[in-house]
């Protein structure tokens, strides 16, 4: 393959890849970023789809319908007609098309932080009810801050102990590290399937098995997996999982998270935020709390109906094209970004801080450079939007449904130009 060491070579390769892209037609389904280039703050290259996915045109149309119809004319009757079951119905559909979960195990509700708290707290309580000696929560130092903070809070609240795994920032938590960390005192292990900084994909099947052999439960954070990397929760006998919906699932800012609880665990788990919507008989409004059977028990208050609408639209897009096609496109996009980096950007001292093996890499790529913070600020001014991650990471999150290879090419060529200026400065 020709080395991508000139702008012409980069653009030519991007054109070839776009011409062969079987998902290219999907870009027409998203709200355009602006065809006018960078004038007036328009976006030329959006490389942060793993932080906030772009909106589907159909999301705006669906929101308009719900305002004018289900809310506007059916009014409160829509609770009985559709909204009461929406968190479970949408959860089932999400589980089917993106998570490998059979019906009755996924619910859409709350934020990622709240869902993490609910499920980890419920899992810890269930583990300790079975064996009071299980007082340890295993978490890694490289996990996303919310996961670590929630684990710290629960440990303090429940007089549990934290066991820390020191993860390599360039790889992630390995099966061997988990095996060394778990034991007879392990209650739960909290890990991210795809590392938020490096995109390293943890060995979910093997790690889950290791935790089970030690008698513990495992809670997987799927925020950087859902909608782009297969997880197959049922097949691998995962216990608990949580994920957001505003990244590759394009649910929009503040979109609700989802929680997965394997059917075998549901009746022995009681979540800590006991609200009326999770009651077995919510409209009786009696004096005491009785959890609903199944996943409804993990709902607390009124579900965010409007926030679920864009998510529902993206779930159907995933169903239309199939998760394997999106995974393959994500792999191709990240491979292209690495190829351009090797051919053009390494002369500036840029490093690839994500796994080069696509089987170990999620849907984004992180590049390292000492001037990353300043360069990214300059790129944003030009309509190129990557993400900065401490201490020196340029994170490129290329959502496969909405991103073209030409878009990636133009963004990386401007990154090259900014690094050139930084080097001369």
- Answer whether 370's CB lies under 8 Å from 392's CB: yes
- Measured distance CA(139)–CA(145) in Å, rounded: 11
Task: For residue 32, count other CB atoms closer than 10 A to its CB.
Answer: 11
Among 26, 97, 143, CA closest to 322: 97
Residue 329 annotated among the catalytic residues of the structure: no
Among 356, 347, 327, 344, CA closest to 409: 344
Q: Which two tokens stand for residue 88?
A: 């479970």
- Measured distance CA(112)–CA(146) in Å, rounded: 8
DSSP letters for 115-132: HHHHHHHHHHHHHHHH-T
Collect all residues with Cβ–Cβ distance below 8 Å to 285 and sequence separation of at least 6. Answer: 276
Spell out the alpha helix ranges (H) of 182-304.
204-213
In DSSP terms, 276 is beta-bridged to none
Residue 221 annotated among the catalytic residues of the structure: yes
Report the largest interatomic distance among the alpha carbons of the chain, rounded to a whole angstrom: 72
Collapsed DSSP state (helix, strand, coil) of residue 206: helix
Catalytic residue among 48, 140, 147, 221: 221
Catalytic residue among 246, 260, 298, 388: 246
Q: 124-132 long-range CB contacts below 8 Å, 24 or more apart? A: 124/154, 124/158, 124/160, 124/187, 124/188, 125/158, 125/269, 125/270, 125/272, 126/217, 126/265, 126/268, 126/269, 127/187, 127/188, 127/216, 127/217, 128/158, 128/187, 129/268, 131/215
Among 313, 275, 317, 282, CA closest to 109: 275
Task: For residue 209, count other CB atoms closer than 10 A to its CB.
Answer: 17
Residue 144 annotated among the catalytic residues of the structure: yes
Catalytic residue among 144, 149, 234, 392: 144
Residue 131 annotated among the catalytic residues of the structure: no
Catalytic residue among 134, 247, 297, 389: 247
Catalytic residue among 361, 395, 405, 416: 395
Residue 247 annotated among the catalytic residues of the structure: yes
Residues annotated catalytic, as ranges:
144, 221, 246-247, 395
């Amino acid at each position: 393959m020709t080395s991508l060491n000139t702008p012409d070579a980069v653009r030519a390769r991007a054109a070839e890849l776009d011409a062969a892209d079987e998902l290219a037609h999907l870009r027409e389904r998203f709200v355009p970023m602006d065809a006018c280039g960078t004038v007036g703050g328009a976006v030329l290259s959006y490389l942060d789809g793993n932080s906030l996915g772009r909106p589907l045109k159909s999301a705006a149309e669906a929101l308009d319908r719900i305002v004018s119809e289900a809310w506007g004319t059916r009014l409160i009757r829509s609770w009985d007609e559709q909204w009461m079951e929406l968190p479970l119905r949408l959860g089932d559909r999400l589980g089917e098309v993106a998570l490998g979960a059979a019906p009755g195990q996924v619910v859409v509700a709350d934020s990622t932080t709240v869902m993490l708290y609910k499920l980890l707290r419920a899992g810890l309580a269930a583990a300790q009810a079975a064996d009071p000696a299980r007082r340890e929560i295993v978490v890694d130092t490289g996990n996303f801050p919310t996961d670590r903070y929630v684990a710290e809070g629960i440990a303090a609240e429940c007089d549990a102990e934290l066991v820390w795994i020191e993860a390599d920032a360039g790889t992630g938590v390995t099966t061997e590290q988990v095996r060394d960390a778990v034991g007879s005192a392990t209650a739960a292990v909290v890990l991210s399937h795809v590392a938020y900084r490096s995109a390293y994909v943890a060995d979910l099947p093997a790690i889950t098995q290791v935790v089970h052999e030690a008698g513990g439960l495992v809670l997987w954070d799927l925020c950087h997996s859902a909608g782009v990397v297969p997880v197959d929760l049922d097949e691998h006998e995962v216990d608990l999982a949580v994920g957001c919906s505003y990244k590759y699932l394009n649910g929009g800012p503040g979109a609700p998270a989802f929680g997965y609880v394997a059917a075998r665990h549901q009746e022995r788990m009681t979540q800590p935020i006991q609200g009326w919507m999770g009651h077995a008989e919510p409209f009786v409004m009696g004096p005491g709390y009785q959890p609903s059977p199944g996943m409804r028990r993990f709902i607390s208050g009124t579900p965010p109906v409007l926030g679920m609408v864009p998510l529902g639209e993206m779930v159907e897009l995933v169903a239309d094209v199939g998760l394997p096609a999106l995974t393959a496109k994500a792999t191709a996009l990240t491979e292209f970004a690495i190829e351009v980096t090797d051919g053009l950007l390494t002369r500036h001292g840029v490093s690839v801080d994500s796994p080069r093996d696509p089987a170990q890499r999620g849907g984004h790529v992180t590049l390292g450079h000492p001037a990353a913070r300043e360069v990214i600020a300059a790129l944003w001014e030009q309509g190129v939007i990557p993400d900065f991650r401490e201490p020196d990471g340029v994170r490129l999150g290329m959502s496969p449904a909405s991103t073209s290879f030409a878009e990636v090419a133009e963004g990386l060529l401007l990154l090259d130009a900014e690094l050139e200026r930084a080097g001369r400065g």
